[in-house]
Structure 1
Amino acid sequence: MTNYTVDTLELGPFTTESGETILNLKLRYEHVGYQGQPLVLVCHALTGNHLTYGTDDNPGWWRGIIDGGYMPIHDYQFLTFNVIGSPYGSSSAHTDADFPKHLTLRDIVHAIELGIKTLGFDRINILIGGSLGGMQALELLYNHKFEVDKAVILAATDKTSSYSRAFNEIARQAIQLDHSEGMSIARQLGFLTYRSSKSYDRRFTPDQVVNYQKHQGNKFKKNFDPLSYLTLLDVLDSHDIDRDRKDVDEVFGRLDTKVMTMGFTDDLLYPDDLVYATGARFKYHKHFFVPDNVGHDGFLLNFNDWAPNLYHFLKVSKFKRK
C-alpha cells in the first residue's frame, strides 16, 4: 500500500507583501508515495486544491496522469499544497476573519516554500503546474530556494494577460453585488474563457449549453467561498514575474533546470505563442503545442492527447543548451 497523507502544517506568524500578518499560517497538503523516490511538487490552479491523487472514493484532479502511467505512483512521490486564500484547509478569509485583505502570488509561493522546508525537503526533482499552478512554478524557479531538476509549465505565461484581468474584474463586480448569484455568474463567465467555442459547439446544442452553464454556476456557488474567490482573483491579477525586478532573464538564464512549456489550441487566456516565449527565457527549454481544441482547460482534460509529451520529457536525460 502506497503511503498516503493529508494533513495541515501550522507554521506560525506569516507576513505578506503588503505587510499584513497571518498569526498562525496553516497549510493543508497531500503527500503520496515513499521517501527516497524523486519528489514531484504539483501546484494547483485557481479553484483547485491539494488533492492531486486523492483516494479511490474521491479521486484527485490529476489522478489520471498518475494512474494512467505517465507519472507512475511507484516511480515518484507527490506533494501538493492547498494555496493560502483557498477555502480547502489552508489559511483563508473563509476561516480567519483577520485574513489579509491583499494577497499576491508571491505570498502563496512564499508559504509553499515554508511548507516544503518544514517537511524536510531540500530538492524538487520535478516541479509542475498548470495555469495559476504554472505561475507558482515560475516564482519558485526565480526564488531558487530549492534545486529543481525539471519544471513543467502548462497553459501559463510570465504575467496575467490583460484579457484575463478584464474577465476577473467582471467576476469581481458580480460577486460584490451579490455573493451567491454573483458567484454563479462569475463561474459561468470563467467557463467561457476556460473552454473554446469549438468545444462548446461540439458538445452542446444551443439549449443544452444554457443548462450546462447554469449547472456549473449553481455547483460553484454551493462549493466555493466568495471571499476566497475574491482573494484568489487578486492573486491571479498580481502575477507578473518581472514586477519590481530587472534580473529575471539573468536568473532564468543561469538555471540548470530543464523546462518544458505546453500551450493549448484556442486558449483564450494564455495563447501558445506567449507560453512559448515564457519558456524561451530559460537556458534549457522544450515546448509542445497541443491541438486539442478544448482551450485553456486542456491541462485538466484529455490526458492522452498531451501527457505522452510529459512522459517523454521526464525520461530524457540529455538536453542541448541554447
Structure 2
Amino acid sequence: MSNYTVDTLHLGTFTTESGETIQDLQLRYEYVGYKGQPLVLVCHALTGNHLTYGTDEQPGWWREIIDGGYMPFHDYQFLTFNVIGSPFGSSSRANDSKFPEHLTMRDIVRAIELGVKALGYTEIDILIGASLGGMQVMELLYNRQFHVKKAVILAATAKTSSYSRAFNEIARQAIHLGGTEGLSIARQLGFLTYRSSKSYESRFTPDEVVAYQKYQGDKFKSSFDLESYLTLLDVLDSHDIYRGRDDVSAVFRMLDTKVLTIGFVDDLLYPDDQVEAVGQHFRYHRHFFVPDNVGHDGFLLNFNDWAPYLYHFLKVSRFRR
C-alpha cells in the first residue's frame, strides 16, 4: 500500500506582497505515493483543495487520473497544498481573523515554495495544474526555486482575461449586496462560465437547468467560506505573469523544462489559442487541444478525452519542439 498523509505545516511569519503579515503560516497538504518515485506537485483550481487523491469516503478531484492508470501512484509520489486564502485548512480568513486583506497569486505561490522546501524537496519531476492551478505553475516556473523536469498547464493563460475579471466583479457585487445568498448567486454565475452552452443544451431542459443552477448555488454557500471566496477572487484577478517584469520570455526560454499546454474547446474564460500562446515562451513545448464541448471544466471531466495525451507526454524521454 502506498503512503498516504494529510497534515498541516506551520511555517512561521509570512509577509505578503502588500506588506501584510501572517503570524503563523499554515499549509494543509496531501501526500500519496511511494518515496523515491518521481515527485508530482499538483496545483489546485479556484474552489479546489489539497485532496487530489482523497480517500474512499471522500475521493479527490483527480482520483480518476491516478486510479485510471494515467498517473498511477505506484509510478509517482503526489504532493498537493491547499493554497493560502482557501478555507480547507491553510491560513485564510476562515481560521485567522487577522488574515491579510490583499492577497496575490505570487503570495500563494511563494507559500507553496516554502512548503515544498520544508518537506525537503529540491526537484520537481512533474509540475501540473489547471485553471488557477495552471497559473501557479507559471509563477513557480518563473521563480526557478526548484528544477522542474516537466510541466503541464491546463486551461490557463498568461494573465486573467478581461472577460473573467468582469464575471469576478459581478460575483463580488452579488456577495456584498446579498451575503450568503449573494455567494449562491456568485457560484451560479461562475458555473455558467465553467460550462459551455452546448454542454447545458445537451444535459438540461429549460426547466431542469433552473433547478440545477439553484442546487449548485445552495451546495456552495453551505460548503465554502464567503470571505475566503472574496480572497480567492482577488488572487485570480491578480494573475499576470508579466506584471512588473520584462524578462518573462527570456527566463522561460532558458529553462530546460518540457512543457505541455492543454486547452479546451468552448472554454469561455481561457480560450485555447491563449493557452497555447503560453507555451510558445518555452524551448520545449507541445500543445494539445481537447475537442469536447464541456468548456472550461473539461479538466475535471471526460478524462478519457485528454488524459491519454498527458500519459504519453509523461512517458516521452526524448523531446523535440
**Secondary structure class of the residue paired with 2:46:** coil
Identity %: 78
- Specify the alignment match of 1:67 in structure 2: 67
* Structure 1 portions without partners, runs of 5+: none
- Specify the alignment match of 1:95 in structure 2: 95
Which whole-Å CA distance do the structure 2 matches of 1:308 and 1:190 have between them? 28
C-alpha RMSD of the superposition = 0.5
Deviation of 1:73 after TM superposition, in Å, equals 1.0
Which whole-Å CA distance do the structure 1 matches of 2:265 and 2:258 have between them? 24
Deviation of 1:314 after TM superposition, in Å, equals 0.3
The C-alpha deviation readout for 1:252-278, integer Å capped at 9, x for no partner, is 000000000000000000000000001
Q: Could you tell me the TM-score, scaled by structure 2's length?
A: 1.00
**Secondary structure class of the residue paired with 2:108:** helix
- Specify the alignment match of 2:300 in structure 1: 300
The C-alpha deviation readout for 1:108-137, integer Å capped at 9, x for no partner, is 000000000000000000000000000000
- Specify the alignment match of 2:40 in structure 1: 40
**Secondary structure class of the residue paired with 2:245:** coil
Which whole-Å CA distance do the structure 2 matches of 1:175 and 1:182 have between them? 4
Q: State the AA in 2 paired with 1:168.
A: N
The C-alpha deviation readout for 1:123-179, integer Å capped at 9, x for no partner, is 000000000000000000000000000000000000000000000000011111122
Which whole-Å CA distance do the structure 1 matches of 2:267 and 2:318 have between them? 31
Which whole-Å CA distance do the structure 2 matches of 1:25 and 1:259 have between them? 31
Which whole-Å CA distance do the structure 1 matches of 2:182 and 2:36 have between them? 46
- Specify the alignment match of 1:118 in structure 2: 118
Which whole-Å CA distance do the structure 2 matches of 1:177 and 1:93 have between them? 19
- Specify the alignment match of 2:314 in structure 1: 314
* Structure 2 portions without partners, runs of 5+: none
The C-alpha deviation readout for 1:86-106, integer Å capped at 9, x for no partner, is 000000001111000000000
Q: State the AA in 1 paired with 2:176.
A: Q
**Secondary structure class of the residue paired with 1:151:** strand
**Secondary structure class of the residue paired with 2:66:** helix
Which aligned pairs between 1:76-225 and structure 2 lie closer than 5 A?
76-225=76-225
**Structure 1 runs, 4 residues or longer, greater than 2 Å off:** none
- Specify the alignment match of 2:6 in structure 1: 6
- Specify the alignment match of 2:251 in structure 1: 251
Which whole-Å CA distance do the structure 2 matches of 1:159 and 1:51 have between them? 26
- Specify the alignment match of 2:263 in structure 1: 263
**Secondary structure class of the residue paired with 2:244:** coil
1:289 aligns with 2:293: no
Q: State the AA in 2 paired with 1:88.
A: F
- Specify the alignment match of 1:23 in structure 2: 23
Please, which moves more after superposition, 144-153 or 170-179? 170-179
**Secondary structure class of the residue paired with 2:139:** helix
- Specify the alignment match of 1:237 in structure 2: 237
Task: Kindly tell me the number of residue pairs found equivalent between the two proteins.
Answer: 321
The C-alpha deviation readout for 1:52-109, integer Å capped at 9, x for no partner, is 0001111100000000000011000000000000000000001111000000000000
**Contact 2:34-2:73 at 8 Å conserved across structures:** no
Deviation of 1:49 after TM superposition, in Å, equals 0.1
